């Protein structure tokens, strides 16, 4: 009888722990499918990036990390041109090239994400500070229209 009660208590404890863990998982509708459950604010903090308020509604992102502290983040921000320029300025993004085909991090995203594969984009990089171990690449579609798209790749440096 005590063995059955002990087993029942163990099963209840395991189920309760699983329910609590699943309940605490963060879901953000801006995350792409397959992303780790992490809030956008936590992902941006990890990446040492600032997102202006004007860009919050037009963001989609994916964050994948592992137990060794390595991570990879992809983000698309669709906003007004002025908002995209605010993002670049707030993050001290420096132009690297203009009018090139998209970098591989843009073209290798799943088709369902709708990222371009042949559009002409300008590239930027964000200089990492000594406290940061991340590398930031940005591809921008600033074609002169009122709308703009930014494609951001952040990864840990080795």
Domain ranges within the chain, ordered by starting residue = 30-156
- Residue-level pLDDT at 127: 73
- Residue-level pLDDT at 58: 93
| Helix%, strand%, coil% for the chain, nearest 5 | 35, 30, 35
Q: How many CB atoms lie within 10 A of CB 31?
A: 20
- Residue-level pLDDT at 112: 80
- Residue-level pLDDT at 152: 93
- Residue-level pLDDT at 23: 47
Note whether 151 and 76 are within 8 A (CB): yes
Total-model pTM: 0.76
- Residue-level pLDDT at 19: 54
Note whether 81 and 142 are within 8 A (CB): yes
**Residue 61 and residue 118: Cα distance in Å, rounded?**
21
Note whether 30 and 61 are within 8 A (CB): yes
Q: Where are the beta strands (DSSP E) in the chain?
A: 59-65, 71-80, 93-100, 121-126, 134-141, 147-156
**Residue 41 and residue 51: Cα distance in Å, rounded?**
9
**Residue 115 and residue 39: Cα distance in Å, rounded?**
22
**Residue 59 and residue 100: Cα distance in Å, rounded?**
23
CA distances in angstroms from 12 to 9, 15, 17, 19, listed in the order given = 5, 5, 8, 10
DSSP letter (8 states) at residue 55: G
- Residue-level pLDDT at 24: 47
Q: Per-residue confidence of the chain (158 residues) as pLDDT tens digits?
A: 556 766 777 777 676 665 555 544 567 889 998 888 889 999 999 889 999 999 999 999 999 988 777 889 999 999 999 999 999 999 999 888 766 666 777 877 888 888 876 677 888 888 765 556 788 989 888 877 888 999 999 988 65
């Amino acid at each position: 009888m005590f063995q059955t009660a002990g087993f029942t208590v163990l099963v209840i404890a395991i189920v309760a722990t699983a329910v609590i863990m699943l309940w605490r998982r963060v879901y953000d509708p801006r995350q792409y499918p397959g992303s780790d459950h992490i809030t956008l604010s936590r992902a941006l903090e990890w990446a040492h990036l600032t997102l202006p308020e004007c860009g919050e509604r037009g963001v989609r992102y994916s964050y994948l990390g592992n137990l060794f502290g390595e991570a990879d983040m992809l983000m698309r921000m669709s906003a007004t041109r002025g908002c995209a320029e605010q993002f670049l300025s707030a993050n001290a993004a420096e132009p690297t090239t203009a009018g090139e085909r998209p970098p591989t991090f843009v073209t290798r995203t799943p088709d369902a994400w709708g990222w371009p594969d042949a559009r002409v984009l300008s590239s930027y990089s964000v200089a990492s500070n000594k406290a940061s171990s991340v590398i930031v690449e940005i591809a921008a579609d600033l074609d002169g229209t009122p709308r703009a798209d930014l494609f951001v790749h952040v990864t840990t440096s080795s």
